[in-house]
Chain A
């Protein structure tokens, strides 16, 4: 089945099986491996991408055919050339990652959180990131990173 999507501003047209999950479509058909697959069961949030500008979705729990005609942003679409996105810079500055596996999902969920709520409280940040798991940091520095970015975005 033909799927046409715009990912990070680039149009992709691919022929896929309906059962192809969006996460694998992005990784294998578009070659964008920044989207990680962690738990495979919509629990961990490593696969979060942004649908149509402001909606975070777990791309392991959506079929690529459902994204037909839609616009997606992955972690590869955050930086502008060599300039890191303020959220990426904040994760760098605040040590918001250790192994980095959850980071793409954290960044994109935080990105949509700040779009809807540019000045979130700490509680709102923790609540907003509750669908994203990190097994390294204990979340403290991730929260600090989003707080830094909220001042800069």
Chain B
């Protein structure tokens, strides 16, 4: 399987990449890690006329911490995130868990977080993680940069708010409160397969032990990653008890709208969504010493 022919343009700066994208519009795609795009091109599911390679754009190859927040540039690899020193902090346990289960260890050497968000695969890992941690995506176009909250960024399967002539340049994870922990729970048939079901959970506790903020999102549960607002509303302001975890899990099962495939039936996947949210909440609480 060989991809259809395309014109290859190598950018050395964001300005240059955006100029190429402006010139070629919807016919152009950005090439970062390529771990989803290249297989899609090989299957001819994607046939871009132009690829704008951003791997030589040095200004995008970074992981930056700033006042407790983390910003990941568009060419930072999954493996870079996995090995980042800040990932050891309890507040980043959702990202830590996810960084270890994306695809497989070799694919993570090339794959990027921002690329995964832009690809917006219904069973991808980073979209659910970004939802649960309420990340923002920075998008650059001709008229400068705009910051899009993740809920507005993820539009539908393989579709984001990035317009023709624009590119995502970074994702920003806000500084979590000190008493924050998360968990990423994923069931896959084998390493490297897409998730049968996955849940991203992040909670912050107040001094009195009640939930200050809650982020609950599912992958492989619909046309793209979904936030389980009902579960978040249940949790905020309350103490996390086994009953509350069960109620949040039920809300997740209800929200999940998966497709049946070789990995399982609709009923099985909906059930798993609840099980994984419950496991995630229990692990996050355990990490918070509760």
| A:31-89 near B, CB below 8 Å | 40-43, 45, 48, 55-58, 61-63, 65-66
Q: Is B104's CB within 8 Å of the partner chain A?
A: yes
Say whether A15 faces chain B, with CB atoms less than 8 Å apart: no
Asked if B6 is an interface residue, CB under 8 A from chain A, the answer is yes
A103 on the B face (CB < 8 A) = no
Q: Are B39 and A130 neighbours in the complex by a CB distance under 8 Å?
A: no
With A55-B109, A131-B106 in contact, is A42–B191 under 8 Å at CB? no
B8/A56 in contact, CB under 8 A? no
Q: How large is the interface on B (under 10, 10 to 19, 20 to 34, 35 or more residues)?
A: 20 to 34
A145 interface residue (CB < 8 Å to B): no
Task: Determine the chain A residues whose CB is within 8 A of the CB of B51 once the complex forms.
Answer: 18
Is B88 on the interface with A (CB-CB < 8 A)? no
Give the interface size bracket for A toward B: 20 to 34
Docked CA distance A57–B79 (Å): 12
Q: Does B175 contact A (CB under 8 A)?
A: no
B246 to chain A, nearest CB (A): 33
A24, A41, A57, A66: the one within 8 Å of B109 (CB)? A57
In A91-130, which residues have CB < 8 Å from any B CB? 109, 127-128, 130
Closest-CB distance, B35 to chain A (whole angstroms): 6
Judge whether A45 and B38 touch: CB under 8 Å. Answer: no
Write the B227-262 contact mask toward A (1 if CB under 8 angstroms, else 0).
000000000000000000000000000000000000
**CB nearest to B108 among chain A residues:** A131
At the interface, yes or no: B207 with Cβ under 8 Å from chain A? no
